Amino acid sequence: MAREDPEPANARRAASGRPLSLGLVQLAVGEDPTRNLAGAADAIADAAARGAEVICLPELFAHRYPCQREDTAHFDLAEPLGGATAEWLSKRAAAHGVVLVGSIFERRAPGLHHNTALIFGPDGERVGVYRKMHIPDDPLYQEKFYFAPGDLGFPCVETGRARIGPLVCWDQWFPEAARASALAGSEILIYPTAIGWQFDLGEDEDRAQHDAWETVQRGHAIANGVFVAAVNRVGFEPTGDAPDAGIRFFGQSFVCDPRGRVLARASADDSQVLVVECDLSLVEATRRDWPFLRDRRVDAYGALRSLLDD
């Protein structure tokens, strides 16, 4: 077959490189907040010791997932942007000199709450805030009861180490969120996540659901020429209504590169720290080969701002 160019683009790019070590902290979350924080601290320390420069925790990592049922008492878990969990994250980031992506149940005002991702820089300063834009409401994921949809758009956070697009869980299913964050400049989309199986539908259905979840995100990486990292909870958390009612969070946190190749994937059953080497120069290299951003028809995307084109 033709090799028109003796040194094609794919070969030329191999020489350069902009390495980033990314840490994914997949956690099982229990009833005791003190133990949860201690476990998260150990995992962050482990990731940092293994060289991770940017570390991400799961969605709402500090406590049990509170949205399995609608209970006003769960608003007691909420904290302001500068609350105790945020302060804890800041100290962890500074202690290890890393960029740390965390997630909190934000109390913005009485009766106004958000599902919020926070990014802290290596000096402990807060460098980014993202309020989850797409809010689910499914059996055992009754988030519309708890969280107002975000009002900060889809930001790109310049962390010094990488331009990060913080998004959260349900956003994973929306190509618009990924695209908007990439257009804002993000090189890595990072999703703190809490997703699992809520009914016993059998192994085939479990596999199909997980596969769809990973596939749609690999699609975002490909369509946008960015890295994608999803950091999930793992293990069973009960609803509290009946002994076996609850969510089995399916773990399987992963990172894929701008060509959609999965670089690493965590266990489906256990807490795990992944430290993954990413070459950020692949963002531009991939976009040179696959120049999708060049050809977008921004003149013809009006219908995307409607719920239906009817």
Within 11-50, the residues that bind its own copies by CB under 8 A are: none
109 binds its own copies (CB under 8 A): no
Active site residue 91: no
Query: Are the C-beta atoms of 281 and 254 separated by less than 8 Å?
Result: no
Q: Binding its own copies by CB under 8 A: which of 33, 83, 124, 219?
A: 219
Q: Binding its own copies by CB under 8 A: which of 34, 73, 111, 306?
A: 306
Strands of the sheet containing 234-238, edge to edge, are: 196-197, 246-250, 234-238
Q: Binding its own copies by CB under 8 A: which of 80, 175, 240, 270?
A: 175
Total residues at interface with its own copies (CB under 8 A): 73
222 binds its own copies (CB under 8 A): yes
Cβ contacts of 184 within 8 Å, gap of 6 or more? 154, 155, 156, 165
Least distance between its own copies and beta carbon 50 (Å)? 27
Binding mask 149-168 for its own copies (x = CB under 8 A): x---xx--------------
Both tokens of 105, joined, read 């149940």
Q: Nearer to its own copies by C-beta: 97 or 202?
A: 202
199 binds its own copies (CB under 8 A): yes
Active site residue 143: no
CA distance 304 to 175: 11
Q: Where are any strands of DSSP class E within the chain?
A: 19-26, 54-56, 99-109, 112-120, 126-131, 157-158, 163-166, 188-192, 196-197, 227-231, 234-238, 246-250, 254-256, 262-265, 272-279
Active site residue 59: yes
173 binds its own copies (CB under 8 A): yes
Q: Nearer to its own copies by C-beta: 45 or 263?
A: 263
Bin 222: left if φ > 0, else alpha if -120 < ψ < 50, else beta.
alpha
Q: Which residues are catalytic?
A: 59, 132, 169
